[in-house]
């Protein structure tokens, strides 16, 4: 960056955040496109049949709600991290890009899981789902390594938040890797680890931003 | 939140609003994807046949316009509420998330209603539609309970607006529940209640923000 | 609006603009979803056949480019109008909502026109296309009537721009209505009027914002 | 622009950036809609079959990742260019519009390439892909010519960055044209030129913004 820009006080990350917010918002909204109005034949048209048809879509509802809150939680983390940053460079843009690629991808393995969880192919679906989060956890780790460098930090950055986040995020990739391996043995163990980690990320961000 | 951030004057809700605006904007725009160019066979190709084919799509037009103004109204309310708030925390993010989940979902029951209103399955479709608004009204109530807490309020918050909004929003869940029950008896009663409530939300927000 | 908010200097239209920008941006980007990769049978697979298949999609390209620049031009007008406004109220939100409904709808009649222009049903398609712009022109007129009221105007509003815009926009609805009627007689006259008006809106906004 | 607006210090490009960010964000997120959950018959349902079905989608993954990082890189360039600009006019809006048209279009030739690269029609697909970038490079050149005019430049604009960018962007159109011609002779040469240019744009923007 050239001299004259270096001294301007404005937050450089504004457009990075706006762009990322856009990607998060779209990824979270596209989920609804999965839901299709059930088609009934006119001979069998009755309130009970439509009710059953709507209930039979439960795997799509589960996928929708799971993906929605997963992406929302990632947005809250992204938001909390960038609060401590006021400058950007090429590395942060690249790490953020990898993260956003993962965010837009999450609905796909979730759909695969919702479709194949009640079938004999459940193991592959669960491994694909957990495997995606190995990638996501790795991207998040890359992202904080890029974001929490001295020259990029905001003067109001919280040293405590940074230390805690760096510590917490290190557990992500190995634990999701464990979930991926478990999927090949028992699907329930894999999903239990993923759920436990989701709760962990939700409580840790609540605690860390409150501290 | 750590000490140093506590004293900065900037509006913390900026990114929450940007993200929510994105979700509202996308949900309102995706509605158009429902409309498909009618396919005519080349033998029957004439201005009159195309005209009829376009007119036959009226349930999609009704669904489009209804969903559009419903989401728009929810955006106006969301906007008016957050004007009184200048800080965020995990609970507000969570309540806002539930609200946005509902916003992205609204086009789906609207499509179901538009498809099945002229059929024998209308009762289920109307109950599904009203039932979605029980959820929405509950989310909005959750959202103002989270937003209108002392530590989050902006110094310029309007006590009158907050009191009126808290009062009005309490009627939402029970009245929409009534609409859902009525749907099983008479579809018209259910839709009448929903329409009356829509008009109520539109006039109340106009009055409350003007007061 | 309560007393204390009345005196704050910040631009109230910020969120209205952000939301509208989102809708414009999504409407303009969804156009690409119309384009589908052509499917070739493996027996006829050759560079020449793929080339022909891509060229045969020209009506989709025409629809894409026409819709794109139409929505872009509406965004430029929307942008130029709101530059003169610094306050919002329920009427402006409603007028803006109608305008955005039109913006999201434009790609649909454009697709209908692109599909049926080379067929015997061209007259209906052209009337549907021009008719949409009667609605759009009416919405734009409604929008400037709502936006250019005394209490909403920004202190830096340009009286010249407002007068010129109010004058120009009055011609919109009757001229597009003329185009709609002409479509039933001769499609080319209708499209000529639409194209001439597009050029008029493009040059008038360039002149008015430069003046 | 009228007198009174001329003196206000605020960055006029804010809404142009917000709108463009929206288009970039949506274009980059829509890519995922290409991926469809594979459909297995219940007779052949097994973890191995689902695994194979997911692996067989590799051309879609390649197209997704390629398009994603191509659009991301264009966003980084767009961002770096507009940092030096603080005023807008009709020409900049038009040039920006052409650029955004290209951005929304990129996923389409990428899909065509991913579909037809392993077939006999590869040459046309590669020429279509490279040809799109001739258009993009030309739009980017148009965009910097519009953006880097004296009256639009920000007081903090970097003369070094502008000179380097103007120099670098001149090579774009002829080199992509070369890639398009090569595609008709040998697909690999064409893709090699495109990849080399991608790396060039990534390193040049990193160097230029750091300098």
pLDDT digit string, tens, across residues B85-130: 888 888 888 899 999 999 988 888 888 888 888 888 888 988 999 9
Say which residues have a Cβ less than 8 Å from residue B73's Cβ, sequence separation at least 6: B198, B201, B202, B205
What does the alpha-carbon distance between residue B50 and residue B32 come to, in Å, rounded to a whole number? 19
User: Would the pLDDT of D11 be above 80?
Assistant: no
Query: Which two structure tokens, joined as six digits, stand for D175?
Result: 């080199």
DSSP assigned state of C149: S
Q: Are D23 and D104 in contact (CB under 8 A)?
A: yes
pTM of structure: 0.83
Q: What is the pLDDT of residues D40-49, one digit of tens each?
A: 887 878 888 8
- SS3 state at C56: coil
Instruction: Give the residue ranges of DSSP H helices in chain D.
Output: 3-6, 14-30, 47-55, 58-82, 90-105, 107-116, 122-147, 159-169, 172-185, 187-210
Mean pLDDT of chain D: 84
pLDDT number for residue B113: 86
Minimal CA separation from D22 to chain B, in Å:
9
Please enumerate in sequence order all residues whose Cβ is within 8 A of that of A40, keeping only pairs 6 or more positions apart, or say none.
Answer: A49, A50, A53, B116, B119, B121
Least confident of A173-177, B173-177, D57-61: D57-61
Measured between beta carbons, which residues in chain D are less than 8 angstroms from residue A1? 158, 209-210
d(CA C27, CA C17): 15
Residue of A nearest to D28 (CA): A23
- Tokens read off for B47: 């201005």
CB C144 within 8 A of CB C81: yes
At a CB cut-off of 8 Å and minimum separation 6, what does C96 contact? C16, C20, C143, C146
Chain C residues whose beta carbon lies within 8 Å of the beta carbon of residue A25? 22
Residue-wise pLDDT tens digits, A109-122: 888 888 888 888 88
Q: How confident is the model at residue A16 (pLDDT cuts 50, 70, 90)?
A: confident
Handedness of CA B188, B194, B199, B204 (dihedral sign): positive
Please name the helix (run of DSSP H) or strand (run of DSSP E) that holds residue B136, with its range, or none.
helix B122-147
* pLDDT at residue D1 in the model: 36
Which chains neighbour A (Cβ–Cβ under 8 Å, 3 or more pairs)?
A: B, C, D
Lowest mean pLDDT segment, chosen from A9-23, B38-52, C152-166: A9-23
pLDDT at C30 > cutoff 90: no
Confidence of residue A165 (pLDDT cuts 50, 70, 90): confident
| Subunits adjacent to chain C (3 or more Cβ pairs under 8 Å) | A, B, D
- Nearest partner of A34 among A112, A132, A126, A124, judged by Cα: A112
Identify the residue with better confidence: C5 or D89: D89
Residue B31, SS3?
Answer: helix
CA distance linking residue C121 with residue C127, whole number of Å? 10
pLDDT at D135 over 90: yes
pLDDT in the model for residue C131: 92
**Segment A180-202 mean pLDDT:** 88
Lowest mean pLDDT among A7-16, B110-119, B201-210, D99-108: A7-16
| A6 has pLDDT over 50 | no
pLDDT at A114: 83
CB-based contact D30 C26, cutoff 8 Å: no
For chain D, the chains sharing at least 3 beta-carbon pairs closer than 8 angstroms are A, B, C
Q: How far is B84 from chain C (nearest CA, A)?
A: 9
Q: Please state the φ and ψ torsions of residue C85, each to the nearest 5 degrees.
A: -120, 140
Mean pLDDT of chain B, nearest integer: 84
Q: Which residues of C116-136 are buried (b: 16+ CB within 10 A; e: fewer)?
A: bbeeebbbbbbbbbbbbbbbb
| Chain B residues in contact with C97 (beta carbon < 8 A) | 68-69, 72
CA distance B202 to D29: 33
Average pLDDT of B53-59? 84
Confidence check: pLDDT of D160 > 50: yes
Q: How many angstroms away from the CA of C164 is the closest CA of chain D?
A: 13
Residue D7 has pLDDT above 70, yes or no: no
Q: pLDDT-derived band of residue C10, with 50, 70 and 90 as boundaries?
A: low
High-pLDDT (> 70) share of chain A, %: 93
Which chain D residue's Cα is nearest to B29?
D26
Report chain B residues whose CB lies below 8 A from the CB of A54: 112, 124, 128
Residue percentage of chain D with pLDDT more than 70 = 93
């Amino acid at each position: 960056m050239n001299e004259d820009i270096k001294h301007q006080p404005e937050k450089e990350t504004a457009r990075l955040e706006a762009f990322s917010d856009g990607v998060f918002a779209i990824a979270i909204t596209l989920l609804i496109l999965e839901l299709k109005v059930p088609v009934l034949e006119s001979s069998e048209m009755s309130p009970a049949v439509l009710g059953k048809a709507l209930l039979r879509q439960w795997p799509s509802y589960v996928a929708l709600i799971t993906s929605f809150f997963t992406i929302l939680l990632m947005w809250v983390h992204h938001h909390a991290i960038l609060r401590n940053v006021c400058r950007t460079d090429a590395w942060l843009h690249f790490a953020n890009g990898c993260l956003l690629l993962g965010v837009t991808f999450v609905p796909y393995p979730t759909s695969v899981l919702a479709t194949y969880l009640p079938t004999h192919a459940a193991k592959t679906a669960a491994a694909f789902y957990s495997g995606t989060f190995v990638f996501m956890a790795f991207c998040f780790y890359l992202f904080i390594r890029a974001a929490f460098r001295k020259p990029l930090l905001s003067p109001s950055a919280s040293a405590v938040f940074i230390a805690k986040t760096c510590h917490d995020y290190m557990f992500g990739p190995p634990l999701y890797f464990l979930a991926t391996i478990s999927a090949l043995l028992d699907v329930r163990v894999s999903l239990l680890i993923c759920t436990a980690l989701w709760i962990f990320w939700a409580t840790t961000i609540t605690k860390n931003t409150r501290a």
